[in-house]
């Protein structure tokens, strides 16, 4: 289990939902920024998508219990 997974398993469902919404908004902003200018860190969007996948996985596991 990686560090992010360990951190998110202790959160409540409401905290996970708010984190997911914030991360989706951040990804959308980064996509718009990428279309207008060249980003300094080209991996940032893919890293944020991985974080989003972890949050969605943990949320799904909590809802299925």
For residue 6, being part of any structural domain is answered with no
User: What pLDDT digit, counting tens, does each position of 27-52 carry?
Assistant: 999 999 998 988 788 899 999 999 99
* Per-residue pLDDT at 19: 95
pLDDT band at 25 (very low <50, low <70, confident <90, very high): very high
Please give the pLDDT value at position 42.
Answer: 83
In a domain, 40, yes or no: yes
pLDDT at 2: 80
Domain count, the chain: 1
20: domain range? 13-64
**Which DSSP string corresponds to 17-60?**
HHHHHHHHHHHHHHHHHHHHS--S-TTHHHHHHHHHHHHHHHHH
> How far is the C-alpha of 6 from the C-alpha of 34, rounded, in Å?
31
pTM, rounded to two decimals: 0.87
Query: Would 27 be classed as within a structural domain?
Result: yes
51 vs 53: CA distance, rounded Å: 5
In-domain check, residue 5 = no
What pLDDT does residue 1 have?
56
Question: Is residue 39 domain-resident?
Answer: yes
Tell me which of 3 and 19 has the higher pLDDT.
19
């Amino acid at each position: 289990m990686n560090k992010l997974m360990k951190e998110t398993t202790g959160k409540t469902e409401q905290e996970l939902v708010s984190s997911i919404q914030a991360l989706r908004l951040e990804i959308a902003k980064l996509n718009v920024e990428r279309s207008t200018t060249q980003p300094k860190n080209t991996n940032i969007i893919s890293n944020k998508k991985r974080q989003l996948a972890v949050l969605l996985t943990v949320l799904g596991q909590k809802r299925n219990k």
